[in-house]
Chain A
């Protein structure tokens, strides 16, 4: 930011030199269905078959990850970012780079929270997330969505919509239960410029341990306690570590 201001003050036309401390790391979220890459170009056109043998198309996929942290075997850790909203439909919103807080080294794991933990899930607290209409209704415990995964399923011409929206679970009126989960993925070494691929295996949302039946759970899932808890369980096997380079 300081660099930017100085270049403005000097009315400099040339690109200012950016001074960086430490090494660069890019976290790249990629999305797969049974090993095939999923991108927004596939939305609405590509069909997928889930574990329950429902045929579906995807039209939206965005989700929140928080407290992305690198851990070393000596027990020390470095948080890369407080939170990040991945949105496949918005260019540039599937990866971020940090260039001044870590050194080339070997790390024993990378961890993050899917959604926000209770301490961070403060209603209305994050202006960028409010601006993205990412809020979770107060009547369902407030705070923020963890995921919006939408599309249609069923035979062409008679499709039904699904809106797999995940966030805090409502037990009963005014009684809520946290619904985030923590993810920890295996170690790797970094160089002065490293890209870490985190894979979301989208098919797993429908598969493990619960074989998701879209005829049972399709829309209006936000106030549905059972659906919310099944999402949390199925989420556990959704992420894996991809390539490091």
Chain B
């Protein structure tokens, strides 16, 4: 469907089908704010996933941003989403395991948040257990090792707040707050977190020239007889730099955390985790679902000579019997240079994404 048509349809739906209508004296008139889709995505990949019942609006995004940075959602008013998803870390944190409000540690590394609307199968978390961005946002608030609140309590706090009821009215046409509206607003904000302005993006757009080392690193990434990374981590025509799918990339012989298998119940899925995007690695250390690697060099060494066999290891970890793809020192250095060319420093400093409170 043409973009203008999509917007028109959403607009009409929004205006005429809302059953809440006008309340009080202020008319409810949210302003549509369609995502600003980068050229590199428009030209290469399918449009983002935006639920028809949660269109992007100025008021919704702004409310979502405020909520994302507000400790009010946590049980003791000390922790916001941003505590573990901070802009300077491309919306993850620098801890191996994040600390919840009760000082409890989880067993998974926090995940960076960007380009989430392009996760077409909408499976979120390392193990894909949450469906849709809205659905995911229900989890941290009630997770005992994270914000450890109840939705009932969080909604009461928001309802008694001197600003939030009006902000919900502006965004959704009602002052009656519930968890669905909270997650809708947060999801709208999260969808605006788009990263597509790295050196490599600019190279693809013909705006800059990469160094010889970065270019050779890209070849190592794309060469099935060298790095062979592209089968799971995107390519120049899939600039998400992830397949958003689940694989066992040879970290362990036995699993403390069975990942996808826990969610699907299928033993063939044990040890599988979501392939992370390789964008913004410069800001997102440590790496892997359990944050076991502190540097990009550690990661490259893992694929080069540190692979460990297990029954569910992906066939694409083809050199597991010799420990890995055995890259030369110079190929390793170039691969690292290429990976770093996927970092987007404008993303982490974008004023629209910072704490508004």
Contacts and interface: CB of A to CB of B under 8 A. Distances in A.
A29 to B, nearest CB: 21
B260 to A, nearest CB: 13
Contacts of B5: 5
Q: Which of B9, B232, B315 has the most CB of A within 10 A?
A: B315
B45 interface: yes
Nearest to B230: A137
Interface in B229-284: 230-232, 234-238, 243, 268
Contact of A133 (B1, B243, B313, B320): B243
Interface string A148-159: 101110000000
Q: What is the interface of chain B mostly: helix, strand, loop, or mixed?
A: loop
Given A11-B17, A44-B312, A161 B12 contact: no
Contacts of A19: none
A9 B9 CA distance: 7
B268 A44 contact: yes
A69 interface: no
Given A161-B315, A162-B315, A130 B222 contact: no
A85 to B, nearest CB: 13
Nearest to A9: B12
B237 A135 contact: yes
Contacts of B319: 219
Interface in A152-178: 152, 160-163, 165
Contact of A139 (B9, B120, B223, B314): B223
B9 A223 contact: no
Contacts of A223: 223-225
A160 B321 CA distance: 8
B317 interface: yes
B219 A220 contact: no
A138 B315 contact: no
Interface residues of B, number: 38
B13 interface: yes
A9 to B, nearest CB: 6
A203 B193 CA distance: 46
Interface stretch (A110-118, A121-129, A188-196): A121-129
Contact of B315 (A132, A140, A163): A163
Interface residues of A, number: 38
A131 B238 CA distance: 6
A5 B6 CA distance: 9
Interface in A83-128: 123-124, 127-128
Contacts of A123: 237
B44 interface: yes
Contacts of A160: 321
Contact of A131 (B17, B45, B230): B45
A131 B219 contact: no
Contacts of A219: 315, 318-319
B222 A150 contact: no
B44 A124 contact: yes
Contacts of B46: 127-128, 131
B208 interface: no
B334 to A, nearest CB: 15
Contacts of A244: none
Contacts of B224: 137, 140, 165, 220-223
Given A130-B237, A162-B315, A137 B222 contact: yes
Contacts of B225: 220, 223
Interface string B306-325: 00000011111111110000
B16 interface: yes
A3 interface: no
Contacts of A8: 9, 12-13
B230 A138 contact: no
B57 to A, nearest CB: 18
Given A1-B1, A5-B9, A220-B225, A124 B315 contact: no
Nearest to A145: B231
A45 interface: yes
A43 interface: yes
A67 interface: no
A59 B315 contact: yes
B222 A138 contact: yes
Interface string A172-212: 00000000000000000000000000000000000000000
Task: Give the interface centre of B224, B236, B237, B238 by most chain A CB atoms within 10 Å.
Answer: B237
Interface string B105-144: 0000000000000101000000000000000000000000
A236 B307 CA distance: 37
B199 to A, nearest CB: 19
Nearest to B325: A220
Contacts of A222: 224
B318 A133 contact: no
B63 to A, nearest CB: 25
A152 B235 contact: no
Given A131-B118, A150-B316, 19 more contacts: A8-B12, A11-B17, A43-B268, A44-B268, A59-B314, A59-B315, A60-B315, A123-B237, A128-B46, A131-B45, A132-B243, A133-B234, A135-B237, A137-B223, A138-B236, A160-B321, A161-B317, A221-B224, A222-B224
6 contacts: A5-B9, A124-B237, A127-B46, A128-B46, A135-B238, A137-B230
